[in-house]
Structure 1
Amino acid sequence: MLEDRVLFIDGEAIVIDKPAGLPVDRPRDRSPAVETMLGDLTFGFQRLPVAVHRLDRDTSGCLLLARNPKALKRFAQSFEAGAVSKKYLAVLDGVPEGASGTIELALAKVSSAATGWRMHGDPRGKPALTRWKLIDSGGGRALVAFYPETGRTHQIRVHAAEGLGIPIMGDPVYGAGGPHMMLHAAALTVPRGAKPEIRATAPLPGHFAATGFGDG
């Protein structure tokens, strides 16, 4: 129940801890999605909240919803301007060199009838920038914090696989796949001018603990 996963709420915003496996938008097969559950998140308002941004189906963590059209417009402008701070935690199928760094790799979409669509590094694509920091390592894997400065589709997943040369554990497209993709939107901060900023932190889901890494 999404109402039990609220991390932040006030008159214009809700942040939920989206579970892995639940898409934001309703898929073609009409299976459950955040979009179909918004009626559970009105909390006394007549208007349904609206998702401001997107997380991949297999990515868990902080998802911002706007509770009115004016808030939606302002939040969307903040995302577009790069004013929103985002922290993701990921378990990588390897250990990167160094303790931190920046990945600057433009991204473009490719598709084929055989494999469907995916993103890849392409100098002719849209600019994408991600900062990263090593949090912990062990057993040939690493817990890494990613701080995307841009918001391209699959940005962190491709920047890990192509930028660092180490895919995210469980990634079904850019890695070896597995029961869970180990990518979590751990924190979100949205400035609101004179109003207090929106701040939310989502605890690591249980499948992260099985990898041997604690919260970063």
Structure 2
Amino acid sequence: MSVVQTISVKPADADQRLDRWFKQHFPALSFGHLQKLLRTGQIRVGGKRAKADYRLLAGDQIRIPPMGEMALPMKKPLPAPPRSEDVQMLQDAVLYKDDHVIVINKPPGLAVQGGTSIGKHLDGMLEALRFGASDRPRLVHRLDKDTSGVLVLARSRQAAAALALSFKDRKTRKTYWALVTGVPSPNEGEITSMMEKDGEEDERVRPGDKGLKAITEYKVIENAGNALCWLALRPVTGRTHQLRVHCAQLGTPIISDGKYGSEDSFRDGISSKLHLHARNIVIPHPVRGTIDVTAPLPPHMRETWALFEFDPNMRQDVFADD
């Protein structure tokens, strides 16, 4: 482009940093060049100089100086549309939906995002959950591929920012259910450790002297003798594989956990799928009130609960502050 442009910020792009807006709309423009254009006042918002961290408002007028081919948006290849069976699977998994938020019951075995050797993932199929909105929903947190249960999606940039802040500020309460090997002693408590990556490519982590602090509350709901027990887990922090590592630290690894468990974690007559489920989430709604959603157990855990005559319909709010 060899002429000055003026672009009006759309409502969907509001509450976004100016530099991220440029990254989204003009990805060919390098960060260094953007900084120079801002520093010299060639890029302006509302006729005034602006900094990279300026938060855009709907209707803001952004002056785009002549930048040649760097001002031309790069066309990204469109992802392949999800298969009809995947569309049906995801839409059937919806537990809650309004104009701002969608909550689904993620099935076990479905990765949330792509990566090495991951072809099929939720992020690549979110078009199936658009439901007529102008944008496809956005991820605001993650679950492990093998973990099932409640997963929150935002239907706008503003909702995504508000939900992400609720996770960051620990205003979100999550309760997980797990079947573990053995019974922890004491039957309830809190486990705290530092967690660091152990250098492998599969995101494996381990407790150590460095890394990030991880805190989990736990409580035994019911046990099958001394061999197995049903645990309720509440992550105070949200570290990678936190619950799986903490259960192993308690000496009670999660059943069928091939990453952090042992041979004893796999039992005859019990599914080889991981027995960890995000059962419930309570999170401030981005506009009003609170969202409180509970996810039914996946089929393999329902079968195990039936095997031990555990009641899958019992209340999930077993922690004292609920």
Please give the range of the TM-score, normalised by the shorter of the 2 chains.
over 0.9
Of 104-113 and 181-190, deviating more is 104-113
Change (3 A) 1:7 1:112: closer
1:61-210 map, 5 Å: 61-112=149-200, 117-139=203-225, 140-162=227-249, 164-176=250-262, 178=266, 179-192=272-285, 195-210=288-303
1: CA distance between counterparts of 2:133 and 2:286? 24
2: CA distance between counterparts of 1:49 and 1:193? 14
Q: Which runs of 5+ in 1 are unaligned?
A: none
Q: What's the offset of the Cα at 1:112? A: 4.5
2: CA distance between counterparts of 1:117 and 1:38? 24
Q: What does the per-residue CA deviation read over 1:72-124, in whole Å, with 9 as the maximum and x for residues that have no partner?
A: 111111101111000000000111123310111111111248xx551111132
Q: What's the offset of the Cα at 1:209? A: 2.8
2: CA distance between counterparts of 1:106 and 1:27? 26
2: CA distance between counterparts of 1:67 and 1:193? 11
Deviation >6 Å, runs of 4+ = none
Q: What's the offset of the Cα at 1:191? A: 1.3
2: CA distance between counterparts of 1:65 and 1:40? 13
Paired AA for residue 180 in structure 1: K
Paired AA for residue 252 in structure 2: I
Paired AA for residue 78 in structure 1: S
Of 150-159 and 168-177, deviating more is 168-177
Change (3 A) 1:15 1:174: same
Greater share of strand residues, 1 or 2? Answer: 1
Do structure 1's residue 37 and structure 2's residue 125 form an aligned pair?
yes
% identical equivalent positions? 40
2: CA distance between counterparts of 1:137 and 1:64? 30
Aligned-partner SS, 2:281: strand
Say whether the 8 Å CA contact 2:102–2:152 is kept in structure 1.
yes
Do structure 1's residue 47 and structure 2's residue 140 form an aligned pair?
no
Aligned-partner SS, 1:105: strand
Aligned-partner SS, 1:37: helix
Paired AA for residue 114 in structure 2: R
Change (3 A) 1:96 1:67: same
Q: What's the offset of the Cα at 1:43? A: 1.1
Count of residue pairs the alignment pairs up: 213
Say whether the 8 Å CA contact 2:163–2:286 is kept in structure 1.
no
Change (3 A) 1:214 1:205: farther
1: CA distance between counterparts of 2:287 and 2:295? 25
Root mean square deviation of aligned Cα: 1.7
Change (3 A) 1:203 1:112: closer
2: CA distance between counterparts of 1:7 and 1:192? 15
User: Structure 1 length normalisation: TM-score?
Assistant: 0.92
Task: Report the counterpart of residue 146 of structure 2 in structure 1.
Answer: 58
Aligned-partner SS, 1:63: strand
Paired AA for residue 213 in structure 2: P
Choose between structure 1 and 2 for higher RCO, CA contacts under 8 A separated by at least 6 residues: 1
Aligned-partner SS, 1:76: helix
Q: What does the per-residue CA deviation read over 1:8-47, in whole Å, with 9 as the maximum and x for residues that have no partner?
A: 1111110000000000012344522111221110111020
